[in-house]
């Protein structure tokens, strides 16, 4: 489960970076990319916390 969440977060972060680079002049896409970036970072943190908890058990 933790590996799937981490992998999805990397895909989401890559998508956000792609949108920022590909459409630098579009305000709407920049807003969408910002929201996607927040989702990706949140998933990344959740994946990291799952990894930490698995090592403690």
Query: pLDDT by residue (tens digit) across 21-38?
Result: 999 899 999 999 999 999
In the structure, what pLDDT confidence band is assigned to residue 48 with cuts at 50, 70 and 90?
Answer: confident
Q: What is the pTM of this model?
A: 0.78
How many structural domains comprise the chain? Answer: 1
Sequence-ordered list of residues with C-beta below 8 angstroms from that of 46, at least 6 positions apart, any chain: 5, 9
Burial of residue 39, with CB atoms counted within 10 A of its CB: 0-12 exposed, 13-18 middle, 19 or more buried: middle
How many other C-beta atoms are found inside a 10 Å radius of the C-beta of residue 42? 12
| Structural domain containing residue 25 | 2-56
Residues 43/7, Cβ–Cβ less than 8 Å? no
pLDDT of residue 8: 92
pLDDT of residue 53: 57
Token pair recorded at residue 42: 């949140």
């Amino acid at each position: 489960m933790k590996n799937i969440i981490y992998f999805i977060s990397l895909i989401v972060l890559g998508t956000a970076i792609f949108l920022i680079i590909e459409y630098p002049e579009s305000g709407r896409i920049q807003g969408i990319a910002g929201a996607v970036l927040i989702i990706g970072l949140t998933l990344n943190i959740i994946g990291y916390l799952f990894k930490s908890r698995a090592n403690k058990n």
